[in-house]
Structure 1
Amino acid sequence: MTGPRVLFATPEVAGFAKTGGLADVSASLPRALAQLGAAVAVVMPYYNAVRRSGQPIERTPFVLPVPLGDRVLACRVYRSLLPRSSVPIYFIEHSPFFERDDPRLGRGLYQQVMLGGYRADYPDNAERFIFFSRAVLELVPHLDFRPEVIHVNDWQTALVPVFLAEAYRSRPGYNHLRTLLTIHNLAYQGIFGRDVLPLTGLPGWLFNPTQLEYHGFFNFLKAGIIYADAINTVSPTYAREIQTPEYGYGLEGLLASVQHKLTGIVNGCDYEQWDPAHDPHIAATYTPDTVVERKPLCKADLQRRFDLPVMADTPVLGMIARLVHQKGIDLVLSAAPGFLDLGCQIVFLGEGDREYHDQLQAFRSRHPNRVGLYLGFHEGLAHVIEAGADLFLMPSRYEPCGLNQLYSLKYGTPPVVRVTGGLADTVVNATEENIAAGTATGFAFHDYTASALYETVRWALTLYHHRPHHFRQIMQTAMRQDWSWNRSAREYVALYDRLCQTVARLQHG
């Protein structure tokens, strides 16, 4: 291997344990890095979901001593490979912290469903991920290679740079290490009371506004931003947005002050899993050259699966999302009666807040021949919707990167997006100018209003019904875009290389 040597620390990985897009990134990016010649290993907690994953897992001989407050806890390390790769993944075992998730009982990786039906964070989340962050650093000497960079992700691992600087830097084998912190969603920061500070073993004088303290609380993500050698977010636009009050969630001033070490790299799309040319979940495979003839077969299959009338000329709008305020479901529900007036069918897939579940169920009951609904997540149906819908709705209030718009582009299902974050960086709006230039790949609007969403869909349907040659052009242009992980991984390798060069300059004066 001639590329950088990277330890990738994450709280979740697709194929083992997943709650969202971070897990997809954590599975796909290390694979792509390895294909570019990097030496990479992944480390995550050993949840019950990992045990149930069906992946082959072996116990290693390593037992790590992990400091936690005034105790030292022993944790065993397990090992496997990322699916479809030779990339090793290590699991940190500690039963009291990580063997509690059970979907049957409403217990997830970070939250549990309470008696009232709402979700609440586990009260010991701070302790769990302080422990995990220390374990990541204790694992370093036991890897098959000597890492140069520890790449940490979100608040759950954001204390790794802090511990490295304050507790490990002087130890043999750690002085060369550099850290990269990726912020996947700034809204989740890991904010806890000051009383958790003794669990870190860090000196109390670090609890000040320029280091660990945040309005009287201990903010894990803020600490990581200050201590990490480099920071990135998952799109260039989001990297700029989080330096503003609208998107900064209280950290905009800090992020603006460290913009010299802040970059944005758009996530990639795993085309091994998401490609209509060889997708086993859809009724008919297709390419840009055959999309016009073959995609209608997928549309008919989608309509049948959701008990909708199979009508080829009726436009189908699809939405796959967490049903939460961030994703713009409030806009869609407000505009949806107008979409029906425009002659559309609408299909929803997702789960989230109870209020949106109730509103969608009521909407479906009022229009059973026009609206399809699946509450929950279903991998196969997600592929069916991406392939069968005519337009994909993604009007997010904010979207650090987004993956579904990348899937939609690949499947020739032009996304309708709000201009924010990664949506702004990946979708080219179908203005008359962009249509004439042959660069349009979807439809975009700026104002976070139901009327802006409605007017954008109405414009898309104008092309669909009255200028089908232009609509087909947008579909085919979208399908030919390259948003592969190979492209993203090259940018990460360049970022790692810059960090390693910094180390070399420091070591050689």
Structure 2
Amino acid sequence: MKKILFAASEGVPFIKTGGLADVVGSLPKYIDKEYFDVRVFIPKYTCMKQEMKDKLKYVTHFYMDFNWQNVYVGVLEAEEAGVHYYFIDNESYFGGFKPYGDDPRYEIEKYAYFCKAVLSALPLLNFQPDLIHCHDWQTGLIPVYLKERFHGGDFYRNMKSVITIHNLKFQGKWDVKTVQSITGLPEYYFTSDKLEAYKDANLLKGGIVFADAVTTVSDTYAEEIKTPFYGEGLDGLLRARSHDLRGIVNGIDYGEFNPETDKNIVKAYNAVNFRKEKVKNKHALQEELGLRVDDKKMMIGLVSRLTDQKGLDLIAYVMDELCQDDIQFVVLGTGEERYENMFRHFDWKYGDKVSANIYYSDALSHKIYAACDAYLMPSLFEPCGLSQLIALRYGTVPIVRETGGLKDTVQPYNEYESTGTGFSFTNYNAHEMLNTIRYAEHIYYDRKREWNKIVDRAMATDYSWKVSAGKYQEMYDWLIG
């Protein structure tokens, strides 16, 4: 039995701010328990929901030498959906009303502590992983520490590490002197072939340099990040490590996202009966949001963080033009103020066509996936993207820009061969996006049978975790040998 340890800064159902938590919470459930013993380490944040905190049991505590002092480390555990979770407890680091703070220096100290605490706790738990699977910059020091102070001990000697990049934009950077002092790493670790990048210490870079393998969350993103445009300053390093770099597309939890059993939606439906039943969800949503109730009107959805990365400047540029079309547009999410206000403005200007819901609601997101005819995702970059996978599952046709995971998971419609599961455009250009939306409108209104076949193919795709888990298992086998 091969032992795998996940280390991450968040994981469903305990704590979530984004897609990383979905991966950490879902992937271990689908790894084959016959061959792999997978456990997960995350911080115990005081902002976790009380019902989750109530599940945690005390295991042990100890004191560890960190940042020039002797620091408390508590370890708790819980079992969830057949997966064993451990939690590092230290209220001075993981207190507060949200998991991540706004002071980058303190964030680096907090996650450096987490990395060292995870490795230090393992012998006390009687769990000796063959491989530690690290996620994003917050765990970037684990591969470094494994090759440095933990390397001498028998317990750690053969441990391998892999780091998964969920979003290369976030790297954990601060000045070398401070990071050296916090981490206790010797000076020679802070050179340009190790942790130093552009005069700063960079925790993600450390993880990429010292891990035995590097993965990211789609094949296309794995290629893109070797180029200067997507590489966020680390493209040279990623080219150098290209033999050890692979893309594995994320899955979604097919139990949670299932139009046949979804408790949040008005009318359950499936691939066989969607032609009759799906529209009932549209009706209900039109009523709920105060849009004109009309079966025939094409409804486009967008559930997103409202940030530049998501291509919202393209939408802002052509929104007036788009609203001249015979469509309805439903938005859910929060983010940058200018985008929140932009959508509010269009909701005010075209009240019967646009519904801007500037907050977050899990229940409403499910209703939007089920009710809409199409789903818009014009991202500037998208390592994997989960929304388009959910949209496919619900038979809501994705309209995407060909980048990262969007390019890998949405096959563009070809009217001559009658293939494809969505619509896509190549360049980051507002009118190219608008033309693609209008092409989708044309198929929806004028060639309804073709549209329904696109929906058929979309609902037949399989982006469940089963497929991705198989690929991760292959990689674990390859690394552990």
2:230 counterpart of 1:244: no
Of stretches 200-209 and 153-162 in structure 1, the one that deviates more from structure 2 is 200-209
The answer for the alignment partner of 1:188 in structure 2 is 170
Superposed displacement of residue 132, structure 1: 0.2
Structure 1 counterpart SS, 2:99: coil
The answer for the alignment partner of 1:460 in structure 2 is 440
Counterpart of 2:425 (choices 445, 454, 467) is 445
Counterpart of 1:126 (choices 91, 94, 108) is 108
Distance (whole Å) between structure 1 residues aligned to residue 409 and residue 62 of structure 2: 43
The answer for the alignment partner of 1:114 in structure 2 is none
The answer for the alignment partner of 1:92 in structure 2 is 88
Distance (whole Å) between structure 2 residues aligned to residue 21 and residue 139 of structure 1: 27
Superposition pairs of residues 169-318 of structure 1, within 5 angstroms: 169-194=151-176, 195-318=178-301
Structure 2, gaps ≥5 residues long: none
The one-letter amino acid of 2:66's match is L
Report if the CA contact (8 A) 1:39-1:145 is conserved: no
Counterpart of 1:402 (choices 367, 375, 385) is 385
2:342 counterpart of 1:346: no
Report if the CA contact (8 A) 1:67-1:134 is conserved: no
The one-letter amino acid of 2:88's match is I
Counterpart of 2:456 (choices 468, 472, 476) is 476
Structure 1 counterpart SS, 2:322: helix
Superposed displacement of residue 196, structure 1: 2.1
Report if the CA contact (8 A) 1:183-1:234 is conserved: yes
Distance (whole Å) between structure 1 residues aligned to residue 63 and residue 131 of structure 2: 22
Q: How many residues align?
A: 480
Superposition pairs of residues 361-400 of structure 1, within 5 angstroms: 361-400=344-383
The answer for the alignment partner of 2:41 in structure 1 is 43
2:131 counterpart of 1:149: yes
Ranges of 4+ aligned residues in structure 1 off by more than 3 Å = 34-37, 53-56, 120-123, 142-145
The one-letter amino acid of 1:416's match is I
Question: 1:425-471 deviations in whole A, cap 9, x for unaligned?
Answer: 00000122442xxx310000001111011100111111111110100
The answer for the alignment partner of 1:110 in structure 2 is 100
The one-letter amino acid of 1:42's match is V
Of stretches 385-394 and 369-378 in structure 1, the one that deviates more from structure 2 is 369-378
Would the alpha carbon gap of residues 34 and 376 (structure 1) be closer, same or farther in structure 2, given more than 3 Å must change?
A: farther
Superposition pairs of residues 73-88 of structure 1, within 5 angstroms: 73-82=71-80, 85-88=81-84
Would the alpha carbon gap of residues 92 and 482 (structure 1) be closer, same or farther in structure 2, given more than 3 Å must change?
A: same
TM-score, normalised relative to structure 1? 0.92
Distance (whole Å) between structure 2 residues aligned to residue 331 and residue 201 of structure 1: 46
Counterpart of 1:137 (choices 119, 123, 135) is 119
Distance (whole Å) between structure 2 residues aligned to residue 186 and residue 77 of structure 1: 30
Counterpart of 1:487 (choices 464, 467, 478) is 467
Question: 1:390-415 deviations in whole A, cap 9, x for unaligned?
Answer: 10000100000000000000000000
2:8 counterpart of 1:10: yes
Distance (whole Å) between structure 2 residues aligned to residue 379 and residue 421 of structure 1: 25
Superposed displacement of residue 145, structure 1: 3.9
Report if the CA contact (8 A) 1:361-1:373 is conserved: yes
Would the alpha carbon gap of residues 336 and 486 (structure 1) be closer, same or farther in structure 2, given more than 3 Å must change?
A: same
The answer for the alignment partner of 1:30 in structure 2 is 28
Superposed displacement of residue 135, structure 1: 0.8
The one-letter amino acid of 1:309's match is R
Distance (whole Å) between structure 2 residues aligned to residue 93 and residue 449 of structure 1: 47
Structure 2 counterpart SS, 1:197: helix
Question: 1:460-500 deviations in whole A, cap 9, x for unaligned?
Answer: 11111111010000001100111110110010011011110
Distance (whole Å) between structure 1 residues aligned to residue 261 and residue 82 of structure 2: 23
2:2 counterpart of 1:19: no
Distance (whole Å) between structure 2 residues aligned to residue 35 and residue 359 of structure 1: 48
Question: 1:1-28 deviations in whole A, cap 9, x for unaligned?
Answer: x4x3100000001211111000000100
The one-letter amino acid of 2:448's match is P
Distance (whole Å) between structure 2 residues aligned to residue 67 and residue 433 of structure 1: 66
Would the alpha carbon gap of residues 90 and 417 (structure 1) be closer, same or farther in structure 2, given more than 3 Å must change?
A: same
Structure 1, gaps ≥5 residues long: 103-107, 112-119, 502-509
Superposed displacement of residue 327, structure 1: 0.4
The answer for the alignment partner of 1:117 in structure 2 is none
Structure 1 counterpart SS, 2:144: helix
The one-letter amino acid of 1:422's match is G
Identity %: 37
Report if the CA contact (8 A) 2:46-2:91 is conserved: no
Distance (whole Å) between structure 2 residues aligned to residue 253 and residue 367 of structure 1: 47
The answer for the alignment partner of 1:337 in structure 2 is 320
Distance (whole Å) between structure 2 residues aligned to residue 457 and residue 356 of structure 1: 20
Superposed displacement of residue 70, structure 1: 1.8
The answer for the alignment partner of 2:476 in structure 1 is 496
Distance (whole Å) between structure 2 residues aligned to residue 56 and residue 456 of structure 1: 49
Distance (whole Å) between structure 2 residues aligned to residue 421 and residue 139 of structure 1: 36
Superposed displacement of residue 144, structure 1: 5.3
Q: Give the root-mean-square deviation of aligned CA atoms.
A: 1.3
Report if the CA contact (8 A) 1:17-1:53 is conserved: no
The one-letter amino acid of 2:415's match is E
Report if the CA contact (8 A) 2:59-2:77 is conserved: no
Report if the CA contact (8 A) 2:104-2:174 is conserved: no
Report if the CA contact (8 A) 1:15-1:53 is conserved: no
Superposed displacement of residue 387, structure 1: 0.4
